[in-house]
Amino acid sequence: MTWSEKLSTSVQSIAPSGIRKFFDIAAQMDDVISLGVGEPDFITPWSIRESCVYGLERGYTSYTANRGMPELRNEISRHYNRLYNLDYNPDTEILVTVGVSEALDIALRAVLNVGDEVLIPEPCYVSYQACTILAGGVPVPVSAKLENEFRITPEELEPHLTPKTKAILIGYPNNPTGAIMERRDLLKLAEFAEKHDLIVISDEIYGDLTYEGVHECFSALPKMRDRTILLNGFSKAYAMTGWRIGYALSNADFIGAMTKIHQYTMLCAPITAQVAAIEALKHGEKYMKKMVAEYDRRRNLIYDGLNKLGLKCFEPKGAFYIFPDITSSGMTAEDFAEKLIRSERVALVPGTAFGESGKGHVRCSYATSIEKISAALKRIEKFLLSSQ
Ligand code: PLP
């Protein structure tokens, strides 16, 4: 008998995140340029940090209501009303969580019974499949196609439907591809969800990082408000990854069920982060827009640069990732990433970390400075020339 045999079968069945391996290699080397991490290189804007300092000074060190501070829930409600004309009742339809990570976990646990299937367009964020399994569900990956700029269509989803299909889990703008879904694409998805009576879990953590046009909120589509569990947070748009603060919006039944799990497992999100999040929503938009403008500059640089090197990629329209096709190098994505970091000290992530359909691609994050992106492009050029 080994201790590992005593672990739950669901935990045994999930693999550690494929992103980690490359961080570990990078950590042992000097002078690595990382295009690997999905984290803003900005520090949280000062006014947001200051509000937390001031909150601590005033003695804000306690628990809060399980659902989150009323003032924060009111701000979130106002925010969605202003941006998307949506009305969420702060008392019953909003839950403040420990990042989108917690919101995703408890959304799945609140709605899935053992064996329920969840359609998950791929490539996708590393947690979607693992959290589905941990919630007792069965992830059903559905490949999105490069030819369609990694948008998903009902025609692609339809063959994967079974009587056990309970939900669809989407994330646009997308990590790792940078894809977005335009309104016409989302409307088709909404019709599909309605026709097959599916719950939609929509992770919109990158919604504010949309570079052309405006972000389309799934819950704002006709008849989708109550069918959708909308997840969002402060990590990306406000450069607040370490604060661990997010939220979920949906009908009172779904949010009530999620609150039950949250109250037994988290009790509440940290009060310091909630105070900061209030400030972010009240006064943070101008700082957020500045950061988004800078990501946009970097996006243009890396998009042109990679294409010039013969690493074909479509133009990402959201998030801060680009997903070049590296098959012209003759290497697999894993080989490409490993050889590149070992020979030229540029870290990126093989597309297969985001599902089988990421084969032949790597994910580059451009949440790093223009100087570093330029230097990384030169190193990649050298790598490609030397491996011909
Ligand atoms: N969803 C997506 C698509 C992400 O890329 C990430 C983090 O990289 C998360 C959720 C987790 O966000 P949070 O920091 O709010 O837990």
Give the CATH number, domain containing residue 263.
3.40.640.10
Domain boundary among 255, 284, 313: 284
62 and 31 within one domain? no
Say how far apart CA 373 and CA 298 lie, in whole Å: 8
127 CA → ligand 1 middle, Å: 9
| Pocket of ligand 1 contains residue 40 by CB under 6 Å | no
Residue 303, domain extent: 3-44+286-386
Residues 6 or more apart whose Cβ sits within 8 Å of residue 28: none
Closest approach atom of ligand 1 to CA 101: 16
Three-state secondary structure call for residue 218 = helix
Counting the structural domains of the chain, the total is 2
Specify whether 55 is located in the same domain as 133.
yes
Give me the CATH number covering residue 382: 3.90.1150.10
Same domain for 118 and 260 = yes
- Output the CA–CA distances (angstroms, integers) from residue 204 to 9, 106, 207, 324, in the order listed: 31, 16, 5, 23
210 and 305 inside one domain: no
pLDDT for the residue 25: 81
Residue 39 Cβ < 6 Å to ligand 1: no
100: CA distance to ligand 1 center in Å? 6
Work out the angle at residue 347's Cα, subtended by the Cα atoms of residues 313 and 148, and round it to the nearest 5 degrees.
20
Strands 362-365 and 321-322: antiparallel
Domain boundary among 239, 267, 284: 284
Closest C-alpha among 184, 150, 155, 73 to residue 319: 150
Closest approach atom of ligand 1 to CA 174: 3
Q: Is 205 in the pocket of ligand 1 (CB under 6 A)?
A: yes
Task: Say what the pLDDT of residue 336 is.
Answer: 96
Confidence of residue 23 (pLDDT cuts 50, 70, 90): confident
- Does one domain contain both 108 and 240? yes
Q: Does 222 share its domain with 314?
A: no
| pLDDT tops 90 at residue 333 | yes
Token code pair at residue 385: 């020339």
Residues 275 and 335 in one domain: no
Report the atom number in ligand 1 closest to the C-alpha of 203: 1
Answer yes or no: is the C-beta of 203 below 6 A from any ligand 1 atom: yes
Q: What's the whole-model pTM score?
A: 0.97
**113: helix, coil or strand?**
coil
What pLDDT digit, counting tens, does each position of 108-130 carry?
A: 999 999 999 999 999 999 999 99
CA 328 / ligand 1 centre spacing (Å) = 31
